[in-house]
Amino acid sequence: MSHTVVAITACAAGIAHTYMAAEAFEVAAEDHGFKVKVETQGSIGAENILTEEDIAAAHVVIIASDIEIDLARFAGKKVYKTRPKVAIKDAMALVELAIKEGTVFGAKGTEVGNITLGKTNENGFIQHIMSGISYMVPMVISAGLLLAIANIFAFQKDDMGRMVAWGFDQSDPLGDLMYHLFQVGKVGFTLMIPLFAGFVANSIASRPAIAPAMIGAYIANDAGFLGTETGGGFLSAILVAFLVGYFVRYLKKIRWPKILKPLVPIMILPLIATFFITIVVKYMIGGPIASGMGALYDWLTWLTTNYSASTFIIGAIIGAMIGFDFGGPVNKTALIFGTAVFTDTVAKYGIEGANFVPGTAAQVAISVAPLGIFLASHLFKNKFTATEKISANSAFGMGIVGVTEGAIPFAAAHPLQMITASVAGSALAGGLVGFFDVKFYGGIGSPLGTFVGYIEQPIPFVTWILCTFAGITLTAVIIGLWRKPIEVETGTETAQVTVEQDTATEQQPVRAN
């Protein structure tokens, strides 16, 4: 193949899928002899940026993204849009499909701006949500770690590691610094929701929708503005984002007088949309949603306080969702729910009364699938090829820092096996931390989290590790028992071989790492 391909890869979190998809393109180009340049739009920002010369020389542009990408610079080029997972699974097949079915951007029937080209089963609602998450994640992490650092100095414990008092001694310089770090962390969690709403709206209607959506989400979570006991949480932010996004999209279709056009995107649309969402929040949706969310959190608090088994069930459900699709929409939904419950209950009850169960379950389950694969490759060596063992080592590197996506290459090759094992192990880990009342304040969602971050647990350091390893071990055992020993045909006989034998007839997994 002598084609020249340019691509953009981006995922919701901007951490794993982004770079795995880029590597898959580069490996395919090396194996099949075509030229490729990949721009990654990860959490660190755009890297290896495509130049005008790169774009002009390309036969096709592939957008492998979970978030909206501005396509204006690709006018007149054949563009095909899909998700990063498609590139990770088989980049060469994707390139061939893009060349065959790509659509010329800017041709009749297309629109400059946020659009979807090519054949894809992408759910628009999920894509907009994922776009908001990608901008929210850095703030969640930084604010959460600041809270975790401050909390280390705020909790007074007894000899058994149990919390007996909480507070900052502001007469001490260190205590005063930690108090202010704690306040900064709270600011981050306050701004997280408006930031999320702003970029969901941006995904729908581009920049004019950002300011009104952020303002709308902020007032929808301001109990003083609403005259309620609590704000509307993430549910109100999602509703505000979509109302603003589609309202602004409608306003953009109006034929504004020529003299006003320079002011339309920077003043007229934001002003009208902000007035609109203020009225909607204040007099229509704000109060009912806030009351409903307040009742939900009161019920969750009552449930977890009065029924000990409920914490295991809630944790298991959240853990199962985390393990279901390896960083996909279900995984992110569980992560958002856990974060929302924590931040909303902190705002309502204070840190002492916050509900930690869903958020802690989500964090403990994050590393189960990739670390389960790694453990299985060592416990059941005769059931993994040499290449799979290398991929399992890569999965360990991602899992130990709390990145679920390390399991994707194995899920692509053995979906039923991996989903079953991951859901079971992740559910067990999530249920156990709920049952033992483990509280994750911030850090890394892996066994390392007990040392990197702050986790309150019955037995300091040990409980978290035991809960994570219970889930990891169950996942590894299911994978190992499900798989058959690697076989290779030799004449009329079939002999079992170990992973150290690297023959041409060994089963090979999808190359993604």
Q: What is the largest CA-CA distance in the chain?
A: 83
User: Are residues 34 and 2 in contact, defined by beta-carbon separation less than 8 angstroms?
Assistant: yes
Q: What is the rounded distance in angstroms from the CA atom of residue 488 to the CA atom of residue 362?
A: 41
Residue ranges of the alpha helices (H) in 155-232?
A: 173-205, 210-220, 223-226
- Closest among 118, 116, 130 to 15, alpha carbons compared: 130
Q: What is the rounded distance in angstroms from the CA atom of residue 120 to the CA atom of residue 466?
A: 42
Q: Is the dihedral of CA 502, 506, 507, 510 positive or negative?
A: positive
Q: What is the rounded distance in angstroms from the CA atom of residue 14 to the CA atom of residue 134?
A: 6
For tokens 């951490």, name the residue. 15
DSSP state of 497: -
User: Are residues 8 and 65 in contact, defined by beta-carbon separation less than 8 angstroms?
Assistant: yes
Q: Which two tokens stand for residue 259?
A: 């003299």
- The residue count of the chain comes to 513
Neighbours of 454 (CB within 10 A): 22
Q: What is the rounded distance in angstroms from the CA atom of residue 219 to the CA atom of residue 205?
A: 21
Q: Catalytic residue, from 5, 7, 11, 71: name it.
A: 11
- Closest among 106, 144, 100, 142 to 118, alpha carbons compared: 100
3-class SS of residue 168: coil
Strand segments (E) across 101-259: 103-104, 155-157, 163-166
R_g over Cα of the chain: 25
Q: What is the rounded distance in angstroms from the CA atom of residue 281 to the CA atom of residue 275?
A: 10
End-to-end CA distance of the chain: 23
- Closest among 195, 123, 191, 135 to 13, alpha carbons compared: 135
Backbone dihedral angles phi then psi of residue 309, each to the nearest 5 degrees? -65, -25
Residue 11: active-site member: yes
User: Are residues 326 and 407 in contact, defined by beta-carbon separation less than 8 angstroms?
Assistant: yes
Backbone dihedral angles phi then psi of residue 475, each to the nearest 5 degrees? -60, -45
> Which residues are catalytic, by number?
11
